[in-house]
């Protein structure tokens, strides 16, 4: 991506086509988009734009490793990651649900060592922690890419003038735009969401007291 995609071109020319209509009030879409069904009938809908969260492969890594993304969810509210599954093909959704029900790698790997001290368990835990570390690194690199291709270009104008990006609450070229106000194409507060996702990944390496009882 670094070799073939210019950050300014991506942000100002390409990214707006990936934006959705959810959480885009500051971009002029407080109710999302109205879908006309004919004869004046229809409804307003707020939909996510394109996002890595809609990738079955990305979510599979979380499911297999037992990583939960529910930090800021209130009761009866779906997390962004679970909501993103609604944008996948049916077979992909069912596959993830099946794997989630059958997979217990984290439970086995993080079983208290004072109860299981075998060499096999130690190797399993080492391999599991290494896999989680790699996924954390992957997400850290993702944040670096987002910074280069979204955060920094959001503060600069194109040479031919400023334009509006639906995936941002501020006009192009706003120099004092706070990083945490930039909305991702999926409708999340971009940087804080990505950091939270990375932190939740890291937390899979920890054992809660309730889990060890």
The annotation status of 142 as a binding-site residue, yes or no, is yes
Residue 189 and residue 24 in contact, taking contact as beta carbons nearer than 8 Å: no
pLDDT of 127-151, one tens digit each? 999 999 999 999 999 999 999 999 9
pLDDT of 51-76, one tens digit each? 888 899 999 999 999 999 876 655 55
Number of C-beta neighbours around residue 63 at 10 A:
21
pTM: 0.80
Helices within the chain (DSSP H only): 7-9, 56-65, 80-84, 90-102, 105-109, 119-146, 190-203, 209-212
| pLDDT for the residue 203 | 94
pLDDT of 19-40, one tens digit each? 888 888 877 888 999 999 888 7
Q: What whole-number distance in Å separates Cα of residue 128 and Cα of residue 201?
A: 12
| pLDDT for the residue 57 | 94
Q: Which DSSP state fits 13? A: I
Number of continuous H segments (helices) and E segments (strands) in the chain: 8, 2
Nearest Cα to 65, choosing from 134, 149, 18? 134
């Amino acid at each position: 991506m670094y070799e073939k995609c210019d950050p300014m071109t991506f942000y100002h020319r390409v990214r707006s086509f990936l934006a959705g209509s959810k959480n885009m009030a500051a971009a002029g879409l407080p109710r999302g988009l109205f879908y006309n069904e004919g004869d004046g009938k229809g409804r307003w809908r707020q939909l996510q734009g394109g996002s890595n969260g809609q990738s079955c492969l990305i979510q599979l890594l979380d499911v297999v490793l037992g990583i939960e993304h529910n930090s800021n969810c209130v009761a009866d509210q779906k997390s962004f990651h679970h909501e993103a599954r609604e944008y996948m093909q049916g077979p992909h959704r069912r596959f993830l649900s099946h794997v989630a029900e059958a997979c217990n790698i984290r439970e086995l790997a993080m079983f208290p060592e004072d109860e299981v001290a075998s060499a096999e368990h130690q190797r399993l835990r080492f391999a599991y922690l290494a896999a989680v570390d790699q996924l954390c690194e992957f997400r850290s690199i993702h944040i670096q890419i987002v910074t280069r291709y979204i955060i920094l270009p959001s503060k600069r104008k194109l040479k031919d003038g400023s334009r509006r990006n639906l995936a941002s609450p501020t006009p192009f070229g706003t120099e004092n735009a706070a990083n945490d106000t930039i909305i991702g194409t999926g409708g999340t507060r971009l940087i804080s969401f990505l950091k939270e996702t990375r932190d939740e990944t890291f937390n899979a390496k920890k054992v809660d007291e309730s889990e060890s009882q």
